[in-house]
Structure 1
Amino acid sequence: MARVVVATAYGGPEVLHLIDVDPGPPGPGQVLLEVRAAGVNPADWKRYSGAWGTDPAKLPMRLGFEASGVVRAVGPGVADVSVGDEVIAYPVDGAYAEQVLVPATSLVPKPPLLSWEKAAGLLLAGATAAHALKATAVGAGDTVLVHGASGGVGAMAVRLAHLKGARVIGTASPANHEYVLDLGATPIAYGPGLERRVREAAPAGVHAVVDTAGTDEALETSIAVVSDLRRVATLAGFARGTQLGIQVLGGVTAKEIAIRAQARHRLVELAAAGRLDVRIAAKYHLSDAAKAHRLGMGGRTPGKIILVPDSVAARGHEHGSAGKAVAADSEPKTDGRGRPGRRRRITRH
């Protein structure tokens, strides 16, 4: 049996519960993954909040779209994955688990020196950001505006655009400006006067916009500063974005899914080379998934929130081949300003 997190009803984080499930053997094209870490994303709580509907037939609802772990069993027809392989899995259905069945096509080899936590937080945000940059044709010499630059997807968009040779301007709260600057962007505050601040930061103009905030302010500023609306994309303001005639990227069409899948290997290569980092904002036990979601819903934590199965945290787990024990506290590893907090030591058994 494996412990998994499910939403037993629609509502807030209080509907999350840890239950025992038998994952069963992997079927054709599947592997059984022993999860070492799972990434937390806004889509996780939107699924059970009612924002995407309240179909009772979908309950109890498994959560989590990305994970890292070790292959423990391989189903029929899987030729290029073996038991014992260390992998990153995305997309996954039900990554908040000790074990989960995953399509072999969702797996990418995990670089030996990339931690389980960073691996688990890399691909959803990274592939989404890569998709947005491709859709807006960002390249060297462009000036790009990223709304929500300190969030998981926003930070990836900033860094990937910077690696392409673009100049990046990123909106964020003043408390996160130092982080946005470290990513390689010019930070500016959102709020009244945003369009003026964007124009002051980019006197030669803005060529493209990636919006991860979805606010009216972000979207209206975007269409005001970019002349070609084909180079404005939103990942959050779907209804308003459609009204404004900009690109709305939901990641649900076959073309969008293919673009994000194709981005995975390049993202892993960049991370392995030390050119793309995943900032871990906080780490929680799997049993504290509700606490993790409350933190994420607050929207003030820069970087990724990660869940670690309690069984893994109890024995201490390794950074792949690096062999370092990692604490998995149920409290954030940052202080209120996003700076590293105190770490609890774990003794390896």
Structure 2
Amino acid sequence: MPKAYVFTRYGGPETEALVEVGRPSPGPGEILVAVRAAGVNPVDWKQRTGYRRPGETGSHAFPAVFGNEVAGVVEETGAGVDGFAVGDEVFGSAVGGAYAEFALLAAPVTAHKPAALSFTDAATLPVAAATAYDGVRQLDLPSGATVLITGAGGGVGSAALQIARALGLRAVGVASEGKKDFVESLGAVHVPSGPDLATRVRAAAPDGVDGVYDLVGGEVLAEAATLLTDGTKLITAGAPAPEVEKLGGARVERARNAAVLDAVAQLVVDGQLDPHVTRTFPLDRAGEALRTVEEGHARGKIVIEVAA
């Protein structure tokens, strides 16, 4: 039977296990793929704790398979699916988990993988890069403007820095001192994280910042908001809507469509976006991959690779 990495109840790492599961069957509008790679994101372990993303309703059925982004090869298509055939190489958002040998994708949020794009890199795009792309585009800043990105050393943050640069923006990235070289390698100005952030940002960007893309929330979000004269240019993927709305900003509005996936894939192919996959793990070491992200040690992206 196919294998999948799951959590058996809400809680900590003790709830996780590699188990055998039935091969999924695609429903209407769904695509079954043989997984080649699955991206690892903070939302994965947060879902294990009982966290729900905006728009999610209800509870997980257990065992619940980890993961939200997949790249693989089409095995079967469900009713009403057009434009995809068995054998196609695709990537997209998982329905019911991604850390597995087989996964279901929602056809409207699935794209064909360009031949020049590896499965490993493609698996970083549906959540992290697409979230970065949606957020930078939502700010709608003119070319030459300055955008501040907090949490810039992670998967979403590093993608956001590069996408901002590709759109002609000056990027300032907030990250730990240990990620200074990494942030600067992406063409951004590095600002160390920590107390009194606003003072350091003002020194690094004396002409001010025109927009803030927050990936941290809490005190970092609140302090970054003080740098703006226009609160509508504050967005977050790191805090709940009420937290940012009281500051005049908004949550990132996710497009969740294939057009965004095509756009970020093209940025990778064109050399304007490097997913920076820093470590890969096989499926039987998915727990180690998840710990790397959960404990905050990841730089760039972590990917689980599944053998063909």
Structure 1 spans left out of the alignment, 5+ residues: 250-255, 318-349
Measured after TM superposition, the shift of residue 127 of structure 1 is 1.2
| Counterpart-to-counterpart distance in 1, 2:59 and 2:102 | 25
User: Which of 269, 272, 287 is the matching residue for 1:272?
Assistant: 269
CA contact (8 A) 1:67 1:92 kept: no
Aligned to 1:274, the other structure's residue is in SS state coil
Q: Partner residue of 2:223?
A: 221
Aligned to 2:9, the other structure's residue is in SS state coil
Measured after TM superposition, the shift of residue 124 of structure 1 is 1.0
| Counterpart-to-counterpart distance in 1, 2:127 and 2:165 | 19
Aligned to 1:188, the other structure's residue is in SS state strand
Task: Report 1:216-255 matches (<5 A).
Answer: 216=219, 218-238=220-240, 239-249=242-252
Q: Partner residue of 1:112?
A: 115
Q: Partner residue of 2:124?
A: 121
| Counterpart-to-counterpart distance in 1, 2:60 and 2:34 | 27
Q: Partner residue of 1:85?
A: 88
CA contact (8 A) 2:139 2:235 kept: yes
Measured after TM superposition, the shift of residue 135 of structure 1 is 2.1
Q: Partner residue of 1:327?
A: none
User: Which of 176, 192, 195 is the matching residue for 1:192?
Assistant: 195
| Counterpart-to-counterpart distance in 1, 2:239 and 2:172 | 19
| 1:298 corresponds to 2:300 | no
Paired amino acid for 1:178:
D
Measured after TM superposition, the shift of residue 257 of structure 1 is 4.1
Paired amino acid for 1:234:
T
User: Which of 187, 202, 206 is the matching residue for 1:203?
Assistant: 206
Measured after TM superposition, the shift of residue 228 of structure 1 is 0.3
CA contact (8 A) 1:27 1:75 kept: yes
CA contact (8 A) 1:68 1:120 kept: yes
Task: Report 1:68-83 matches (<5 A).
Answer: 68-83=71-86
CA contact (8 A) 1:31 1:73 kept: yes
Measured after TM superposition, the shift of residue 211 of structure 1 is 0.4
CA shift digits 1:106-135 (9 cap, x unpaired): 321111122211111122111111121122
Runs of 4+ aligned residues of structure 1 deviating over 6 Å after TM superposition are none
Aligned to 2:255, the other structure's residue is in SS state helix
CA shift digits 1:53-72 (9 cap, x unpaired): 9x776322222111111112
CA shift digits 1:90-112 (9 cap, x unpaired): 25431111012223223211111
CA contact (8 A) 2:275 2:300 kept: yes
Q: Would the alpha carbon gap of residues 194 and 257 (structure 1) be closer, same or farther in structure 2, given more than 3 Å must change?
A: closer
Aligned to 1:258, the other structure's residue is in SS state coil
CA contact (8 A) 2:197 2:224 kept: no
Measured after TM superposition, the shift of residue 244 of structure 1 is 2.3
User: Which has the greater radius of gyration?
Assistant: 1
Which of the pair is proportionally richer in helix?
A: 1
Structure 2 spans left out of the alignment, 5+ residues: none
CA contact (8 A) 2:117 2:265 kept: no
| Counterpart-to-counterpart distance in 2, 1:285 and 1:259 | 28
CA contact (8 A) 1:130 1:260 kept: no
| Counterpart-to-counterpart distance in 1, 2:233 and 2:251 | 11
CA shift digits 1:198-257 (9 cap, x unpaired): 1111111110000011131x21222211110000111112253233232123xxxxxx34
| Counterpart-to-counterpart distance in 2, 1:164 and 1:35 | 32
CA contact (8 A) 2:111 2:258 kept: no
Q: Partner residue of 1:3?
A: 3
Measured after TM superposition, the shift of residue 76 of structure 1 is 3.3
Select the structure with the greater relative contact order (CA < 8 A; seq sep ≥ 6).
2
| Counterpart-to-counterpart distance in 1, 2:208 and 2:258 | 32
User: Which of 58, 63, 70 is the matching residue for 1:60?
Assistant: 63
| Counterpart-to-counterpart distance in 1, 2:294 and 2:199 | 29
CA contact (8 A) 2:163 2:272 kept: no
| Counterpart-to-counterpart distance in 2, 1:47 and 1:3 | 20
CA shift digits 1:239-283 (9 cap, x unpaired): 53233232123xxxxxx3436654211111111222211111221
Q: Partner residue of 2:36?
A: 36
Measured after TM superposition, the shift of residue 25 of structure 1 is 3.7
| Counterpart-to-counterpart distance in 2, 1:257 and 1:195 | 28
CA contact (8 A) 1:66 1:92 kept: no
TM-score (norm 1): 0.82
Q: Partner residue of 1:27?
A: 27
Paired amino acid for 2:251:
V
Query: How many residues in Structure 1 have an aligned counterpart in Structure 2?
Result: 304
Q: Would the alpha carbon gap of residues 27 and 183 (structure 1) be closer, same or farther in structure 2, given more than 3 Å must change?
A: same
User: Which of 97, 101, 108 is the matching residue for 2:100?
Assistant: 97
CA shift digits 1:296-346 (9 cap, x unpaired): 11213211111123xx1xxxx6xxxxxxxxxxxxxxxxxxxxxxxxxxxxx
| Counterpart-to-counterpart distance in 2, 1:56 and 1:71 | 28
Paired amino acid for 1:26:
P
